[in-house]
Amino acid sequence: MMKRLHAPLALLMTCLATSTALQASETAYNQVSLRAEAHQEVAHDQMQVVLYTEGQDTDPARLATEVTKTLNQALSTARKQTHISVKLGSRSSYPVRDSKGQKITAWRERAEIRLESTDFSALSALTGELLKTLKMANMQFSIAPKTRISSEDELLKEAISAFQSRAKLVTQALGGADYKVVNLNLNSNGYSRPPMYARAAQAPSSMVANESVATPEIEAGSSQVSMIADGVIEVQLP
């Protein structure tokens, strides 16, 4: 029985060897790796603000109730602005210990709300209103998803055009008659500059009494969006 298996096995090995030899003979030469990029400076058109309330009390239940009350009032005000996205952020509670770190003397709690909108004026005004009872953790700016996609679509064409230009240049430099693209990868990168942010304390009581709300100043900035065309061409020599 074993002897009968030897012939098919030998034939299979011969076929594999022949296939490997054919692949080796068909190995493509004159291949060159190329990389081209296209860049665009895009203005930030989306604004995010994180506001928070925090407090301290010896009674954790009473503290939680007070924090929740303040938070719910702020959420109620914010949700009236239908074109502003309102989300709950993180919430944490932890014990405050004595100088020896053994006895718990009080509890401290903090809760956040996150606001986001492309309407800078409306969000800035809302932020100023909420600073009557909340504090600001940070304010930052970014490129809205739709804007980024639109920018990337433009850059995609530019990156491919730049890749083709380099491919032609390399072909001419090597004395080639023409070239063909073996593979091409397109990837986008967003190089964000450090976000502009602001930190603010609770609004002074005199401001609240006069119902004069200070609107945070805005400097949105921009980020560089890029599209990279990375691939391999095969130069066809005469």
pLDDT at 6 exceeding the cut of 80: no
**Predicted confidence band of residue 99 (pLDDT cuts 50, 70, 90):** confident
- In this prediction, residues 49-73 reach a mean pLDDT of 96
- Structure confidence by residue, pLDDT tens digits, 184-212: 999 987 555 444 444 443 444 333 434 55
d(CA 26, CA 17): 14
pLDDT of residue 206: 38
Domain 46-142 CATH (choose: 1.10.1200.10, 3.30.70.360, 3.30.70.380, 3.20.20.100):
3.30.70.360
Q: Which residues pair with 111 in a beta bridge?
A: 53, 91
**Predicted confidence band of residue 33 (pLDDT cuts 50, 70, 90):** very high
Q: Per-domain residue ranges for the chain? A: 29-44+144-195+221-238, 46-142
pLDDT of residue 121: 92
Phi, psi values for residue 220, rounded to 5°: -70, -35
- Report DSSP state, residue 118: S
For tokens 């970014």, name the residue.
142
pLDDT of residue 215: 61
| CATH no. for 29-44+144-195+221-238 | 3.30.110.170
Which is nearest to 46 in space by CA: 132, 122, 101, 111? 122
**Predicted confidence band of residue 101 (pLDDT cuts 50, 70, 90):** confident
| Secondary structure of 64-94 as H, E, C letters | HHHHHHHHHHHHHHHCCCCCCEEEEEEEEEE
- Structure confidence by residue, pLDDT tens digits, 66-87: 999 999 999 999 999 999 999 9
What pTM value is reported for the model? Answer: 0.69
**Predicted confidence band of residue 217 (pLDDT cuts 50, 70, 90):** low
Q: Are 45 and 220 in contact (CB under 8 A)?
A: yes
**Predicted confidence band of residue 37 (pLDDT cuts 50, 70, 90):** very high
pLDDT at 52 exceeding the cut of 50: yes
- Report DSSP state, residue 200: B
**Predicted confidence band of residue 183 (pLDDT cuts 50, 70, 90):** very high
* The token pair that represents 118 in the structure block: 């492309």
- Structure confidence by residue, pLDDT tens digits, 141-156: 999 999 999 999 999 9
